[in-house]
Chains A and B, each alone.
Chain A
Amino acid sequence: MEKQSPPWRVMLGNEAFARGAYEGGVEVAAGYPGTPSTEILEFLSHYREVHSRWCPNEKVAFEVAAGAAIGGKRALTTMKHVGLNVASDALMTLAYTGVNAGFVAIVADDPGMHSSQNEQDTRNYAFFAKVPCLEPANPAEAREFVRLAFAISEMFDTPVLVRSTTRVSHSRGVVEEGKRESVPTRRYEKRAEKFVMIPAFARERRKVLEERLKALEQWVEETPLNRIELRDRKMGIITGGVLYEYLREVAPEVSVLKLGVSFPLPRRKIREFASQVTELFVLEELDPVWEREIRAMGIPVKGREVFPGIGEITPDVLIECLFPEKKRDSVDLSHLLIPRPPTLCAGCPHRGVFKVLRDMKAVVCGDIGCYTLSTLPPLSAMDTCLCMGASISVAEGIKLAHPELFVVAALGDSTFVHAGIPPLIDVVYNKTPIVVLVLDNGTTAMTGGQDHPATGRTLMGEETHRLDLAQLARAVGVPFVETISAYEPKKIRGVLEKVRELSEPAFVLIQGPCQLKKPRGTVRRFRVREDRCRGCFVCLSAGCPALAKNAKTVVIVPERCNACGLCRELCPFAAIEEEKV
């Protein structure tokens, strides 16, 4: 007989977040892709009852969701940690106004920077904005906590943060499914004293914020989200998130205070726990947020003096720091290894332009996304990469410092729409003679290929107006605008030679679709003619992963080649040719 199908499934953490929001009666969800948060909205978009959308950036997404909550529908916004920097302007004041229907922001941190430019700790924002923050440890809690977060948001009339980390969002576990809560849309009424933050009203709401915080401080003492698990009393560890999971595995014998709420802290419960154990530790990833608070309460606790404050705390790090006797024997042959960093994909249409820029000795201000993969040798293409959209404004600054340099800003289409438009307006307004190159691959590629305003499709799969980037550049007044195909490096070089001599701003749109979006199985094939290849290896200078050195010549690895033809363009001896298939 078949085993009966249980009401639970194996889910990715991000799928569980989506499930929790769905069950929690969310009706509007908005976000911008960012690893490790992206899949939450992708999964949510499969539930047709929920209006899910990608927005141009996190600030817009946060505000759309805030508006929906003010309007009376439960609303969700999702982003990665650095996305909250962009949306933080809205967060800081939404904390004052409060919400109407439940409002939840899921923010995913990336300790260890698997796919990020920094490793900031979102719990700081909870302290900063004075809004509650929940911290699930696994996919099952991801579902449960998001569901609860909507109720908490309404109970206290506050935005609620749910902090995830890479190992919660991108791990799988067993999740029990429940039914969707039916939540009627709340009445909308004009309440200027609550929702219009002019100074006179904001001063009143400032007091409400402190009163709400007091009420939350009472609630955190009672909620089962924070729980004491007493076992061996010699060692007590205060922890939360995925670190709780590691700890249970590494040292199942120790006593634990598991914090499901990162902010505000349950002070009474912490005191109670501290009094029950001999030696108290606080185990937290990234910043010593809890440690500072607990020390300020006058409780002796060990944190940073034992655990690192940089990078991910893995089970191995935990063993190393606190339980060295549990270390297991293993075999390490790392002396034989060669590194394998991520690279621009074979066949990426935008590889060629970076070689052109390097040959022209341009200063290249890069931006967030795939094109940072051109940073390492052999392309060595980037001079700077700071944050979303900064390529353009940083390029302006470098040009101001050194007018004699050929300064180029290079960014992708999605990044340009996210945060590139105001700096482009600045380029025109302040007449900075730099070149803005938008390398348009028709998608948000690094996060797995999400739609955005210039793709002409929405997250729900509907056709919509396709933002014309060249037209936009003309509209803001860029005097020189040109569109070129990415597959014509010689023409790109020609245009760049021309704009280098200009004393006014230029905008060049280079178009070539992301090869990951192309249908598999190309009809074109290239090969190296051994009789012509002289082993100069010029073709390798573009860093294509489909090319490999043989003894004296180059070979194309057929399984990796995506037939872009760039190597043929680069070969000085016409040794690479298209095969007749």
Chain B
Amino acid sequence: MKGSMVLCGVGGMGILKASEVIAHLVVQEGLSVRQSEVHGMAQRGGSVVTHLRYGEEVFSPLLFRGEADFMVAFEELEALRYLPYLRRGGTVILNRLTMCPPGFDPSRYPKHIPETLENAGFTVLAVPATDIALELGDIRVTNSVLLGVLSRVFPVGTEHSWEKALQKAFRGKALDLNLEAFWRGRG
């Protein structure tokens, strides 16, 4: 068993936390994990990406181009930005959210991103995770909705181990809401 994924979006969307949950999950299943993330300046509303690689033996915390099996994209434009890391035919968990970078004319924002990805040969699971999170009362659980979607196709972990991984990352009320969001995503 060996695999990898890329998670991407815009600073402040809970991408680091989502990566942390996945890292907990794969380790619970007896695998090793390496993960890379960005802090500091890049988090200020800029483009954010984390790489995650797992398996019996893992060394590099960074992916190679064309390697990742999965992409979890919290925003559509960011899916395009980090697409080169995804292997041909890989799976994109896509949040149906478009955020035009400040200062740019929205007409420049690429249209029909889900279709573009499908036409390029990727499997796309597009979900309005932010809308679902807002429905649940907290935009911050967008990440757990997307993890729920990922859990449908991710080869590692049972429902129970996903719940355990979420329990390691969240506490109290936040945990309840994130579990609810996860189940909404899992469907």
Query: Can you offer 18 A-B residue contacts whose CB atoms are under 8 A?
Result: A3-B30, A39-B39, A173-B34, A245-B59, A319-B64, A328-B64, A329-B66, A332-B84, A336-B116, A337-B110, A340-B46, A340-B101, A344-B44, A373-B44, A446-B40, A540-B103, A545-B45, A549-B105
CB contacts (< 8 Å) of B103 on chain A: these are 377-378, 540, 543
Question: Considering only CB atoms, which chain B residue lies closest to A137 in the complex?
Answer: B59
Interface of A is mostly: loop
A172 within 8 A of B: yes
Query: CA A48 – CA B151 in complex, angstroms?
Result: 38
A339 within 8 A of B: yes
Query: CA A330 – CA B63 in complex, angstroms?
Result: 12
Instruction: Give the contacts of A364-404 with B (CB-CB under 8 A).
Output: 370, 373, 377-378
Query: CA A315 – CA B84 in complex, angstroms?
Result: 14
On chain A, which size bracket covers the interface? 35 or more
| A330, B47: Cβ atoms closer than 8 Å | no
Contacts across chains A and B counted by CB atoms under 8 Å: 182
Question: Considering only CB atoms, which chain A residue lies closest to B19 in the complex?
Answer: A172
Instruction: Give the contacts of A229-249 with B (CB-CB under 8 A).
Output: 242, 244-246, 248-249
Cross-interface CB contact of A331 among B47, B121, B139, cutoff 8 Å: B121
| B63, A315: Cβ atoms closer than 8 Å | yes
CB contacts (< 8 Å) of B33 on chain A: these are 10, 172-174
| A115, B45: Cβ atoms closer than 8 Å | no
Known contacts A543-B103, A548-B100; A345/B86 CB under 8 A: no
| A338, B101: Cβ atoms closer than 8 Å | yes
Question: Considering only CB atoms, which chain B residue lies closest to A314 in the complex?
Answer: B62
| B43, A167: Cβ atoms closer than 8 Å | no
Interface 1/0 per residue, A236-266 and B, CB below 8 Å: 0000001011101110000000000000000
| B105, A36: Cβ atoms closer than 8 Å | no
Q: How far in angstroms is the closest Cβ of chain B from A54?
A: 17
| A547, B102: Cβ atoms closer than 8 Å | yes
CB contacts (< 8 Å) of B37 on chain A: these are 170-172
CB contacts (< 8 Å) of B34 on chain A: these are 138, 171-173, 245
B7 within 8 A of A: no
Known contacts A315-B63, A331-B84; A370/B44 CB under 8 A: yes
Instruction: Give the contacts of B66-93 with A (CB-CB under 8 A).
Output: 66-67, 77-78, 80-81, 83-88
Q: How far in angstroms is the closest Cβ of chain A from B87?
A: 7
Q: How far in angstroms is the closest Cβ of chain A from B24?
A: 6
Interface 1/0 per residue, B29-57 and A, CB below 8 Å: 01011111111111111110000000000
B28 within 8 A of A: yes
Question: Considering only CB atoms, which chain B residue lies closest to A521 in the complex?
Answer: B138
Interface 1/0 per residue, A510-526 and B, CB below 8 Å: 00000000000000000
Known contacts A172-B23, A543-B103, A548-B106; A328/B65 CB under 8 A: yes
| B61, A338: Cβ atoms closer than 8 Å | no
A293 within 8 A of B: no
On chain B, which size bracket covers the interface? 35 or more
CB contacts (< 8 Å) of B59 on chain A: these are 138, 244-246, 248-249
Q: How far in angstroms is the closest Cβ of chain A from B92?
A: 11
| A330, B60: Cβ atoms closer than 8 Å | no
A358 within 8 A of B: no
Q: How far in angstroms is the closest Cβ of chain B from A77?
A: 20
Query: CA A330 – CA B88 in complex, angstroms?
Result: 6
Known contacts A36-B39, A172-B61; A340/B86 CB under 8 A: no
| A328, B11: Cβ atoms closer than 8 Å | no
Query: CA A545 – CA B103 in complex, angstroms?
Result: 8
Question: Considering only CB atoms, which chain A residue lies closest to B97 in the complex?
Answer: A559
Known contacts A171-B36, A343-B44, A544-B102; A330/B84 CB under 8 A: yes
Cross-interface CB contact of A330 among B41, B65, B102, cutoff 8 Å: B65
Query: CA A102 – CA B106 in complex, angstroms?
Result: 57
A184 within 8 A of B: no
Interface 1/0 per residue, A524-554 and B, CB below 8 Å: 0000000000000000100111011110000
Cross-interface CB contact of A333 among B28, B32, B62, B120, cutoff 8 Å: B120
Question: Considering only CB atoms, which chain B residue lies closest to A12 in the complex?
Answer: B37
Instruction: Give the contacts of A321-372 with B (CB-CB under 8 A).
Output: 327-334, 336-346, 370
* New A-B pairs, 16, CB < 8 Å, besides A327-B65, A343-B45, A447-B40: A10-B24, A35-B39, A36-B40, A171-B36, A173-B33, A242-B61, A246-B60, A328-B66, A331-B122, A340-B45, A340-B81, A343-B44, A343-B102, A545-B45, A557-B99, A559-B139
Cross-interface CB contact of A342 among B35, B46, B60, B80, cutoff 8 Å: B46
Question: Considering only CB atoms, which chain B residue lies closest to A247 in the complex?
Answer: B59
Question: Considering only CB atoms, which chain B residue lies closest to A378 in the complex?
Answer: B103
| A115, B64: Cβ atoms closer than 8 Å | no
Interface 1/0 per residue, B109-128 and A, CB below 8 Å: 11000001000111000000
Query: CA A377 – CA B99 in complex, angstroms?
Result: 19
CB contacts (< 8 Å) of B62 on chain A: these are 167, 246, 314-315
| B108, A167: Cβ atoms closer than 8 Å | no
Known contacts A10-B27, A10-B33, A378-B103; A245/B44 CB under 8 A: no
Cross-interface CB contact of B45 among A170, A336, A338, A345, cutoff 8 Å: A345
Known contacts A336-B110, A549-B106; A114/B42 CB under 8 A: yes
A316 within 8 A of B: yes
Known contacts A115-B40, A332-B83; A249/B77 CB under 8 A: no
Q: How far in angstroms is the closest Cβ of chain B from A481?
A: 30
Q: How far in angstroms is the closest Cβ of chain B from A263?
A: 24
B10 within 8 A of A: yes
Q: How far in angstroms is the closest Cβ of chain A from B161?
A: 10
CB contacts (< 8 Å) of B80 on chain A: these are 333-334, 336-337
| B65, A340: Cβ atoms closer than 8 Å | no
